[in-house]
Structure 1
Amino acid sequence: MATLIVPSSVPSPDDDAAQLKKAFAGWGTNEALIIEILAHRNAAQRKLIRDAYGAAYGEDLLKDLDAELSSDFQRAVLLWTLEPADRDAYLVNEASKRLTASNVVIMEIACSRSSTDLFKVRQTYHARYKKSLEEDVAYHTSGDIRKLLVPLVTAFRYEGDEVNMTLARSEAKILHAKISEKAYSDDELIRILSTRSKAQINATLNHYNDHFGNAINKDLKADPNNEVLTLLRAAIKCLTSPEKYFQKVLRMAINKLGTDEWALTRVVTTRAEVDMQRIAEEYQKRNSIPLAKAIAGDTSGDYEKMLLALVGKGHA
């Protein structure tokens, strides 16, 4: 359930590339034209535009966008123009750097992508950075956080709906026992979260809730300052109900004293073609304000226009 509005008849990639070249010409950049084109093309169309631009002008569209635009608008346009696997690889690499380190971004990409998509991210990372994603994540983390994140980014889960209820019951007991012992980085707990299909994890956690009378994330709130617990809760939410996870990231980004533009940009650009409609519904339900209105109240200028176009409130 994406919200991206793509016009019913789209110009050819060559025409779009020519229009973008025109947007860069002259004294000022035509930001409105950039939004009109790029924010209303899907991933396959954006790739064709980038290819056509390279063929026609011998330049990389991304480099020209980088040179012409600035600040949050620039970041939103650049992230959006990248192919999904390339964008995720870029975000993980950024999240594993010292100054931009973010374990939650690494977890988010590991847990909210399909197995095939995550596999493509690892392949792209390899090609782009000449090393493995796992290697960088392992190098830039340590202790219990490394112990949790490395298996999550290497996961290749079964994607089907089949569920083994006997297994769900026995693994719910294992999870409850480990959490009761505060053994949050126990091998068994990590094995269950990093290898089971999302459907199986859902069944296990439903059983946990029914049998032990508490949602697992409630039991994982024992120490609010423990980063491992925070990551575990976020991973569970991401694996079982991504729309609830992402609405919360958006809410925190918007309601912060001073907007967290990086989080806002990341969620909008990575989910616009995936499940933004569900996220927006969840956001409205939880915050009693439409997501587009919340974004408009907290951003301005071309950045605001770009984000609103991606959440389905721009004009195609």
Structure 2
Amino acid sequence: MATLKVPSQLPSPTEDSEQLRKAFQGWGTNEGLIISILAHRNGAQRKLIREAYAATYGEDLLKDLDKELSSDFERAVLLWTLDPAERDAFLANEATKKMTSNNWVILEIATTRSSIDLFKAKQAYQGRFKRSLEEDVAYHTTGDVRKLLVPLVSTFRYEGDEVNMTLAKSEAKLLHKKIAEKAYNDDDLIRILATRSKAQLGATLNQYNKEFGNAINKDLKTDPKDEYLKLLRVAIKCLTYPEKYFSKVLRLAINKMGTDEWDLTRVVTTRAEFNLQQISEEYQRRNSIPLDCAIANDTSGDYKSFLLALAGHDH
């Protein structure tokens, strides 16, 4: 469920683009006007606004936003204005760069998106960067991390609910055997995580828990500092319970000594049209404070107003 609130009576994309142009003119930018428009349009609508803006003014709306805005507010608005596939492509590419390298972001995109959304992100990646996401991930990672991430970004999972219980039982046994042998980078273990549908994986892990009396992630905690094992545990959480994963990312982003705006911005902008409502519910259940209150307490100014609007809580 999305948190995004789109008005029932919408201006035309041309009217929206005229209003945005107005927000950039005169003394100082009208940030409130930008928020009132962009934070209340879905991906398809934002795309039409960008097209209308380019047609009317011969300029790229993203470039003008970039010129007019600054700091965390700018990053949030720019990420949001991209359509979801472009945004994932941009974030994934950023995560393969030396200065902004982040295996967690690649893992998050590979495991929490639907098959079709991951496929579209990879198409957008090739269109924009003239290379495949798989080759960049392979080039920028090594060892077991590469062995896990490349198949995860390469996959196209079955999305249905059908589950084969015989398979779930045999693969639960196989996973338990590999983990007992500490063969954490075993080909079969990675194959199961990288190719099975989320429903099938859920059934396998429930079977694992039932038969061996432990959640699989508990058995993978043998070395909490090992990066590969951490990624393995996060992959399992993302594939089976993404709301729990995202609510933890938000808690860590908000509860740091200083806010981790990159993580906060990424989760809110990428999930507002998808499952931010469930993430918010999970957040409140685990932290006894509504997510919008936590965001409001930890951010300020236009950045705060924009994130709250995306989370469905305008002032």
Q: Which amino acid aligns with 1:141?
A: T
Moved over 3 A (4+): none
Quote how far apart the aligned CAs of 1:27 are.
1.7
Distance 1:50 1:4 in 2: 19
Structure 1 Cα separation of the partners of residues 179 and 308 of structure 2: 41
1:57 matched to 2:57: yes
Does 1:203 pair with 2:182? no
Deviations 1:113-167 (A, max 9, x none): 0111111111110010001100100000000000000000001000000000000
Which residue of the partner structure matches residue 159 of structure 1? 159
CA distance in 1: counterparts of 2:314 and 2:203, whole angstroms: 39
Q: Counterpart of 1:148?
A: 148
Note the 1:242-261 alignment, pairs <5 A.
Answer: 242-261=242-261
Distance 1:167 1:296 in 2: 47
Find the counterpart in structure 1 of residue 127 from structure 2.
Answer: 127
Unaligned runs of 5+ in 1: none
Query: For residues 34 and 180 of structure 2, what CA distance do their matches in structure 1 show?
Result: 54
CA–CA distance in structure 2, aligned partners of residues 75 and 219 of structure 1: 39
In the alignment, residue 35 of structure 1 is paired with which amino acid? I
The one-letter code of the counterpart of 1:37 is I
What do residues 174-223 of structure 1 show as CA deviations (whole Å, max 9, x unaligned)? Answer: 11111111111110000000000000000000000000000011111111
Counterpart of 1:138? 138
1:64-75 → structure 2 map (5 Å cutoff): 64-75=64-75
Task: Give deviations 1:32-58, integer Å, cap 9, x for gaps.
Answer: 000000000011100000000000000
d(CA) in 1 for partners of 2:251, 2:297: 13
| Counterpart-to-counterpart distance in 2, 1:311 and 1:222 | 37
SS in 2 for 1:157: coil
Deviation at 1:255, TM superposition (A): 0.6
Q: In the alignment, does 2:90 pair up with 1:94?
A: no
Report what 1:15 is aligned to.
15
What TM-score do you get using the length of structure 2 for normalisation? 0.99
Secondary structure at the aligned position of 2:136 is classed as helix
2 CA distance for matches of 1:113 and 1:155? 11
TM-score by length of 1: 0.99
CA–CA separation in structure 1 for the residues paired with 2:117 and 2:3: 20
Q: Within 5 Å, give how 1:164-313 maps onto structure 2.
A: 164-313=164-313
Rounded Cα–Cα distance in structure 2 between residues aligned with 1:157 and 1:164:
15
- Counterpart secondary structure, 1:100: coil
In structure 1, C-alpha distance between the alignment counterparts of 2:250 and 2:107, rounded to whole Å: 16
Aligned mates of 2:172, 2:256 — CA distance in 1: 36
The separation in 2 between residues aligned to 1:257 and 1:204, in whole angstroms, is 39
In structure 1, give the amino acid aligned to 2:16.
D
State the partner residue of 1:42.
Answer: 42
Looking at structure 2, the residues matched to 245 and 15 of structure 1 have their Cα atoms a distance apart, in angstroms, of 39
Secondary structure of residue in 2 paired with 1:184: coil
Aligned-partner residue type, residue 95 of structure 1:
A
Equivalences for 1:17-32 in 2 at 5 Å? 17-32=17-32
Please state how far the C-alpha of 1:13 moved relative to its aligned partner.
0.2
Amino acid at match of 1:235: A
**2: CA distance between counterparts of 1:51 and 1:205?**
46
- One-letter code of the match for 1:218? K
Identity rate, percent: 75
List runs of 5+ in structure 2 lacking aligned partners. none
Distance (Å, rounded) in 1 between the aligned partners of 2:93 and 2:138 = 12
Q: What is the CA–CA distance in structure 2 between the aligned matches of 1:258 and 1:175, rounded to whole Å?
A: 39
Distance 2:27 2:146 in 1: 49
The superposition leaves residues 73-121 of structure 1 with CA deviations (integer Å, 9 ceiling, x where unpaired) of: 0000000000100000000000000000000000000000011111111
2: distance between equivalents of 1:104 and 1:124? 20
Q: Secondary structure at the match of 1:29?
A: coil
Letter in 1 for 2:168: A
For residues 209-258 of structure 1, the C-alpha deviation after alignment (integer angstroms, 9 at most, x for no partner) is 00000001111111111001111111111100111110011001001111
